[in-house]
Structure 1
Amino acid sequence: MATVKLLKQMKNSVYTFFLSLLMFSCQLNVEPPQAFGPIPTEEQLSWHEMEYFSLVCYGLNSYTEEEWAYGDVNPKLFNPSDLNTDQWAKVASEAGMKGLILVAKHHDGFCLWPSKLTDYSVAATPWKDGKGDVLGDLAKSCEKYGLKLGVYLSPWDRNHAEYGQPEYVDYYYEQLEELLTEYGDIFEFWIDGANGGTGHYGGANENRSIDRIAYYNYDKIFDIVKSHQPNAVIFSDVGPGCRWVGNESGIGGETNWNTIDREGRFPGDSDPNFLKYLQTGKKDAEAWVPAEVNTTLLWPKAWYHHTGHQPRSLANLMDLYYTSVGRGSPLNLGIAIAPSGKIRDVDARNLLKFKEQRDREFRVNLIEKANISVSDTRGNARQFGAKKLKDTDAGTYWASSDQVNEASIEMNFNSPVSFNRLLMQEYIALGQCIHTFKFEVEIDGKYQTITEGTTIGYKRLLRFPNVESKKARLSLKTDAPCLTLAEIGLFNAPLLVDDPVLIKGIDGTVFFRSVENVTTYFALGEKVDREEFKAYVHPLKLADGATIHYFAKENDGNYASEVITEHIGIARDKWKAVSGSESQKAIDGDNRSFALSKSGDIVIDMGKEINVSGFSYLPRQDGQKEGIIFDFEFYLSDNGRDWGKATHTGTFNNIENNPISRHIKLKEPTKARFIKLLAKSDVRRSGLASFADIQIFQRNN
């Protein structure tokens, strides 16, 4: 009997083994879904995965502070004191960018490489005695820091004498050959639709119009690019590799199809309806031409350096991330290189803060703890099962059976979890299929809609107020034969803690803007310890001036911003500009206004005797250079008549390229009621002196 029982057990085991083997074999034989509609090329897929890169803007425009220069600027103006492409690449890499696209030639025609075809290039500048190559340096820096390199070559050239004639087009083709054959692999070639208009044109100084459709022969341009750089994605208003999103605001369409119809469209097409079309794309269109979202780091928006423009706030940058990458399009965030040849410290700092906040928001994917079930699985096969949705591999995916056009994905947790972000990714290698999604959570035993929308595409990120639940459900719809989804994620993003905003009154009152669930802490004094900081409650009266240190901290956690230090001058509400009413603009607390003195000086009555230990000077902030003081003398007086010898003489070094407030400390504090700042020279030798802001510091401040 024991032998018979053993034989039966062996028979059952063999049967079970072969049945399992048969089922496994059947699963392996389940056919993957067929591609639906246009699909991305390998280079487009790689481009999608980059997600974040920058158009780097630098050239003569950086010195003239123009966005579109005329083409007549003397190239000798290009003379950076500290050009460092390693710094550009290092900052970009640490900020999480994957590539840099250099504006190698903008509309002014000035070339950032020593082109053999023109003398309007870095070869004609004092920089490195005419032997420099910005593009060549950047190519090496990108390789050093693991970034991809792209180039922009404007077809419009306001410097070239033959622009508008066939000879110029040949010149453009030859320049393109230089760029594409001498600097290694190019991941993206950028071309836009700004073409024709007024320009220098070799001295003609006239308006020239072209046939925007036929003049350049765009197809030939694209053929040249592909012949030398087959892996490059070509950007223009209408592709063919990727398209403009129709605005420079950093906003992609909430409905964002990666496909458009290109027939009859061309770069520079200004039809307002077409611009809306570029933002949304078109379902069931003929070609895969995904949108690239672009805008600038600087605000007010500027591609090139402009005095007084500051980097966007952290909150604004995060908004841009969710309206670009969060809507399925890469973010191309333009960086303006300062005239010195480097990314400004304040810009680099904000880029790194932006990276830190993204990391904070997406550090822990709560979906890893969830049990996921789906309403349908293709062939009940594991390779298309629910577990693929949380394996952190965008190359695998869940798929439904053919003819299943609606499906739901349920996420169940063992205990309630709190979250406020949703991530979804389609498997776009097979095309873009999903046209409707709805996300719900169970609250008090009933599902409630938290967010819903149309397209998903490469990636969709959605923000919503915190919800807590043990159950969530995602419902999807498509017109394609079946559904696919590569990844899903739930995150509990922490509070965004930006730098405090300090506001100063000319009467010495200082206050910070209130932010919900965030407290600002401050301390006064030259050197302070952490325990000296106290919570800001009400405006501070600092009529005698002070050195203030401050930071922000979330109320319900430990995260805090960096400590910022700022020097506050004495109150100026009783001051009077003796040198004329125009000079009052230098002490009105508004950095946008400024006094412009033909005599080269400013005299101020402080109303009482002050033990002066230093002063600060801010030049005009409108982008013009005339009157920016270079060499100066600073005087003090008891009566405003007897000045004697200058208390301090000096130079505001590199102020033309970096026109920020300069703080000068005197060797010895001196008592006086009147001050005079005299310009001995300005950066343009115009004989003028500009004064946007003057502050005075007392002893120990």
Structure 2
Amino acid sequence: GEVHEVWFDGANGEGPNGKKQIYDWDAILKTIRRLQPKAVTAIMGDDVRWVGNERGIGRETEWSATALMPHSYAGADESYAKLGIKGTGKDLGSRALLEKAPALYWYPSEVDVSIRPGWFYHAEQDNQVKSLAHLTDIYFKSVGYNSVLLLNIPPDRRGLIHENDANRIKELASYVKKTFADNQVEKGNAAWTAKAGESKVYKLKKDALVNTFLIQEDISKGQRIEDFTIEVFTNRAWRHVAEGTTVGYKRLVRFSDSKAEKLRVTVNAARGTANISNIGLYYAQPLTEKNVKVKLSDVSVKDWKTVGMPAEAANAIDGDPQTVWTAKALTPLVVDMGKASEVIGFSYAPAQKEDLTGTIYKYNFYVSIDGKNWTKCDAGGEFSNIMHNPVPYFVRFGKKYPARYFKLEPAAEINNKPATTVGEVGILLK
């Protein structure tokens, strides 16, 4: 039968005399290509490289065109030493690195992880199969980061895939299929050649609710995109929702639920002309992982203080979304962070309870250096779908604002009631 991949693990066994094993790579690879010409050789092979960890997490900036020489090539160790790089490094394809590199290789990343705690089957781990939420996060941070995902599923003592593993894989397949079945972008698969600085506007289906962006390059023509920005047109204005660096075969970007009428994609930087083959906007049903804490702020709340507010308002900035600040009116939350930062966004976590009264639907967000002169931030002004999906929302402005103080001003409650509740507010710096 057909062999899809031949894995040469990076582990290097030693012989009885204690010397490092030397492999005849030329003979090994020629044999594979003669017997299985379609097979990919991985890790120590020259088709697919190891991402550098076994957690299932790729790099947000992942170049398939890399200065990293395949390890099976003669002189690989010398090349690594000269360039100061290794397979586990963060930078394998930046312009600064390529300026020093004598050659460039098409050597895409493969992310490996096991569906269980270990690589082999153990009966006591039958209830430790990774959750759907965990596997979905792995999918977005591997396939969605321009990598191949190799998910290990060990056979049990019967020589079969255990029922728990099989059921979880079916759940994952169903989730991915459902998520990407309905592209809200019209004519998103039309080819687009873009130079740095160019944008393209796409029409969306009516009443589009989205939280996931997809972009793909035609990699038969190489990998070119270095930086891109995503904006949606909502409430009669363009709003920044997310950004990214490399694209390659596939890049997936998640953001908070947003209602959108149009999409604008801007290629901020590229190596020559980018060849974009597909653009998509989708809605991925939120999944929650029990006992996993979501990071809501890039700035420590330790020194934060509310300004001109009752003591209970501190519940909104204590780092715990379970403690709630409640007001019987649409009351702004004003906070002194203690020192100035370059703010690019904020997070809002609604109260984690059955009664959602007071949940903010529409808002304004302001920043200030002195607490007296306020600047209104360029934000969407609406937590779309928060009534049906009361999870933390992350808002990014698309530019930096210097701020020591911030003010979250509720403009409307989900049911137009005169009330405000805040589980937690955080500040984003990246």
1:349 is paired with a residue of what secondary structure? helix
Q: Which runs of 5+ in 1 are unaligned?
A: 1-183, 202-206, 369-386, 392-396, 502-513, 520-554, 558-701
Cα distance 1:304–1:413, how it changes in 2: closer, same or farther (>3 A)?
closer
Match for residue 276 of structure 1 among 72, 83, 88: 88
State the Cα deviation string for residues 314-354 of structure 1 (Å, max 9, x = none). Answer: 11000100011111112100011111221111111111111
State the Cα deviation string for residues 115-174 of structure 1 (Å, max 9, x = none). Answer: xxxxxxxxxxxxxxxxxxxxxxxxxxxxxxxxxxxxxxxxxxxxxxxxxxxxxxxxxxxx
1:432 partnered with 2:248: no
Match for residue 462 of structure 1 among 253, 256, 259: 253
Cα distance 1:497–1:316, how it changes in 2: closer, same or farther (>3 A)?
closer
Whole-Å separation in 2 of the counterparts to 1:219 and 1:315: 42
Cα offset for 1:463? 0.9
State the Cα deviation string for residues 568-607 of structure 1 (Å, max 9, x = none). Answer: xxxxxxxxxxxxxxxxxxxxxxxxxxxxxxxxxxxxxxxx
Q: Which residue of 1 aligns with 2:192?
A: 398
Cα distance 1:459–1:208, how it changes in 2: closer, same or farther (>3 A)?
farther
State the Cα deviation string for residues 375-420 of structure 1 (Å, max 9, x = none). Answer: xxxxxxxxxxxx4x336xxxxx2224xxx43311112347542210
Amino acid at match of 1:482: T
Q: How does 1:129-528 map to 2 (within 5 A)?
A: 184-197=1-14, 208-211=17-20, 215-237=22-44, 239-263=45-69, 265-266=71-72, 273-277=85-89, 280-281=92-93, 286-298=104-116, 300=117, 302-309=118-125, 310-368=128-186, 387=187, 389-390=188-189, 397-400=191-194, 404-413=195-204, 415-496=206-287
Q: How does 1:657-668 map to 2 (within 5 A)?
A: none
CA contact (8 A) 2:184 2:204 kept: no
Q: Which has the higher contact order (CA 8 A, sep 6+)?
A: 2
Q: TM-score, normalised by structure 1?
A: 0.37
Cα offset for 1:266? 5.0
2:156 is paired with a residue of what secondary structure? coil
State the Cα deviation string for residues 173-230 of structure 1 (Å, max 9, x = none). Answer: xxxxxxxxxxx33222111121224xxx8xxxxx653335xx1122332122122222
Cα distance 1:426–1:518, how it changes in 2: closer, same or farther (>3 A)?
farther
CA contact (8 A) 2:183 2:282 kept: yes
Cα distance 1:209–1:323, how it changes in 2: closer, same or farther (>3 A)?
farther
Whole-Å separation in 2 of the counterparts to 1:320 and 1:279: 21
Q: How does 1:602-613 map to 2 (within 5 A)?
A: none
CA contact (8 A) 1:497 1:518 kept: no
State the Cα deviation string for residues 643-694 of structure 1 (Å, max 9, x = none). Answer: xxxxxxxxxxxxxxxxxxxxxxxxxxxxxxxxxxxxxxxxxxxxxxxxxxxx
Q: How does 1:518-667 map to 2 (within 5 A)?
A: 556=388
Q: Which has the higher helix share?
A: 1
How many residue pairs were aligned? Answer: 288
2:29 is paired with a residue of what secondary structure? helix
Cα distance 1:479–1:322, how it changes in 2: closer, same or farther (>3 A)?
closer
Cα distance 1:208–1:305, how it changes in 2: closer, same or farther (>3 A)?
farther
Cα offset for 1:281? 4.5
Amino acid at match of 2:232: V
Asked which structure has the greater CA Rg, the reply is: 1
Q: Which runs of 5+ in 2 are unaligned?
A: 293-321, 323-350, 355-386, 390-430
CA contact (8 A) 1:246 1:278 kept: no
Whole-Å separation in 2 of the counterparts to 1:406 and 1:344: 51
Cα offset for 1:461? 0.8
Cα distance 1:334–1:279, how it changes in 2: closer, same or farther (>3 A)?
farther
Whole-Å separation in 2 of the counterparts to 1:350 and 1:517: 27
CA contact (8 A) 1:253 1:280 kept: no
1:274 is paired with a residue of what secondary structure? coil
Cα offset for 1:518? 10
CA contact (8 A) 2:226 2:268 kept: yes
Q: Which residue of 1 aligns with 2:336?
A: none
2:86 is paired with a residue of what secondary structure? helix
Whole-Å separation in 1 of the counterparts to 2:271 and 2:200: 18
Cα distance 1:193–1:335, how it changes in 2: closer, same or farther (>3 A)?
same
Cα distance 1:413–1:364, how it changes in 2: closer, same or farther (>3 A)?
closer
Whole-Å separation in 1 of the counterparts to 2:197 and 2:290: 45
441-450 or 239-248, which moves further after superposition? 441-450
Amino acid at match of 1:436: D
CA contact (8 A) 1:439 1:450 kept: yes
Cα offset for 1:232? 1.8
Amino acid at match of 1:429: S
Q: Which residue of 2 aligns with 1:38?
A: none
Amino acid at match of 2:59: G
Cα offset for 1:443? 4.3
CA contact (8 A) 1:258 1:282 kept: no
Over aligned residue pairs, what C-alpha RMSD do you find? 3.4
CA contact (8 A) 1:244 1:278 kept: no
Q: Which residue of 2 aligns with 1:652?
A: none
1:219 is paired with a residue of what secondary structure? helix
State the Cα deviation string for residues 277-315 of structure 1 (Å, max 9, x = none). Answer: 3775456561111011110000x2x11112422210111
Q: How does 1:43-54 map to 2 (within 5 A)?
A: none
Cα offset for 1:489? 0.6
Amino acid at match of 2:192: W
CA contact (8 A) 2:143 2:251 kept: yes
State the Cα deviation string for residues 31-57 of structure 1 (Å, max 9, x = none). Answer: xxxxxxxxxxxxxxxxxxxxxxxxxxx
The alignment-based identity, stated in percent, is 32
Cα distance 1:367–1:263, how it changes in 2: closer, same or farther (>3 A)?
closer
Whole-Å separation in 2 of the counterparts to 1:456 and 1:363: 21
Cα offset for 1:243? 0.7
Q: TM-score, normalised by structure 2?
A: 0.59
Whole-Å separation in 2 of the counterparts to 1:464 and 1:432: 24
Whole-Å separation in 1 of the counterparts to 2:94 and 2:23: 27
Q: Which has the higher strand share?
A: 2
Cα distance 1:500–1:292, how it changes in 2: closer, same or farther (>3 A)?
closer
Amino acid at match of 1:304: F
State the Cα deviation string for residues 602-648 of structure 1 (Å, max 9, x = none). Answer: xxxxxxxxxxxxxxxxxxxxxxxxxxxxxxxxxxxxxxxxxxxxxxx
State the Cα deviation string for residues 59-106 of structure 1 (Å, max 9, x = none). Answer: xxxxxxxxxxxxxxxxxxxxxxxxxxxxxxxxxxxxxxxxxxxxxxxx
1:276 is paired with a residue of what secondary structure? coil
